[in-house]
Amino acid sequence: MGKQKTSKSGIVIRRKPLRVRIWNSRGYYLMFLPVLVFVIIFYYWPMLGVRFAFYDYKPVGAPKFIGFTNFEKMFTGLGAAAFWTSFRNTLELSVIKLVITTLASVVVSVFIFEMGNLIVKKVLQTVIYLPHFMSWAVVASIFSLFLSPSSTGMVNNMLFKGDTAKFIYFLADKNWWRPVFYIINLWKETGWGTIIFLATLSGINPELYEAADIDGASRMQKIRYVTVPALMNTIITVLILNLAKVMNMFESVFVTYNAAVYDKADVISTYIYRQTFANAIPNYGYSTAVGLFKSLVGCMLVLLCNWLSKKTRGRGII
């Protein structure tokens, strides 16, 4: 016999035994099984390797348990300076990029929304979306050619009229790398970011604009007092949701940076990559310790964003 449950209206509901319910829904469980296996193999099984954060684990020799030595090296040891530089760069690059691309997406989406010619609007949307679908390797190659300090570098030739003595190697100059990095991200991601804001704009009540017209508001006043306030909740939501991902920056930096700009460009993910693959005898234990620290910080950011989301939207993200 199954369990009985009484509803608020006094009706007795008899539930079938668990094994019977599983058998009756066996088709759904079979469809879910491949996904479950995939998640376990590629997401949870690798988590067992976290234990090596507490080992001296190198390609030669058996792993040796050393406790928190890897963490001491990371925070206060020989590698502390490079680690803290990468940590600081990660936060600075991610947050500034997030703010800049979000604001640019808002501005572009408002301009597109205000366009009256539907054909021009659709063409412009398509054009600015396209860079998002290009891989970072292709994007880096394109900008490397444009910014090259040689006869093929269009930007240097335009700025200095072919005077090679004045050419700037933008991607290898500590003063120029970050501005160029932000510009590349703007070019690639702004169009994609406008999608969610255009969706919000299309849902604004037209009566608000009609009321503004009756009051004699200009186009700029309608944007200021109707459009922007309607976007604020979405802007805050986008910022909060993306804040949880600030520690995951890797590919955009990896394909554009080099040893000359490590002080300004190196982030935690690229630091882990170099510690693992750029050393003659890598210490996988130390790399795992750095990766574990990165994951813990990312987890705290997710919890923070969840709390902020509850405060601003009334519901969390997890």
pLDDT digits (tens, 9 = 90+) for 163-211: 778 888 899 999 999 999 999 999 999 988 898 898 888 888 888 888 8
Model pLDDT, residue 140: 93
Dihedral of alpha carbons 228, 234, 238, 239, sign:
positive
Q: Percent of the chain at pLDDT above 90?
A: 33
State mean pLDDT over 7-35: 80
Model pLDDT, residue 235: 86
- CA atoms of 305 and 302, how far apart (whole Å): 5
Model pLDDT, residue 303: 84
List the domain boundaries for the chain.
4-44, 69-313
- Total length of the chain: 318
pTM: 0.82
Dihedral-angle region of residue 232 (phi above 0 means left; psi in -120 to 50 means alpha; beta otherwise): alpha
Lowest mean pLDDT among 5-19, 175-189, 274-288: 5-19
State mean pLDDT over 238-253: 86
State mean pLDDT over 282-292: 90
| Helix or strand holding residue 298 (H, E) | helix 284-313
- CA atoms of 87 and 293, how far apart (whole Å): 10
Lowest mean pLDDT among 83-92, 132-141, 261-270, 275-284: 275-284
Select from 1.20.1250.20, 2.40.37.10, 1.10.3720.10, 3.40.50.1000 the CATH code of 69-313.
1.10.3720.10
| Helix or strand holding residue 143 (H, E) | helix 136-147
HSE-up of residue 47 (Cα within 13 Å, Cβ side): 8
State mean pLDDT over 228-255: 86
pLDDT digits (tens, 9 = 90+) for 54-64: 999 888 888 88
| Helix or strand holding residue 5 (H, E) | strand 4-6
| 158 — pLDDT class (breaks 50, 70, 90) | confident
- CA atoms of 127 and 197, how far apart (whole Å): 17
Confidence check: pLDDT of 251 > 70: yes
| 159 — pLDDT class (breaks 50, 70, 90) | confident
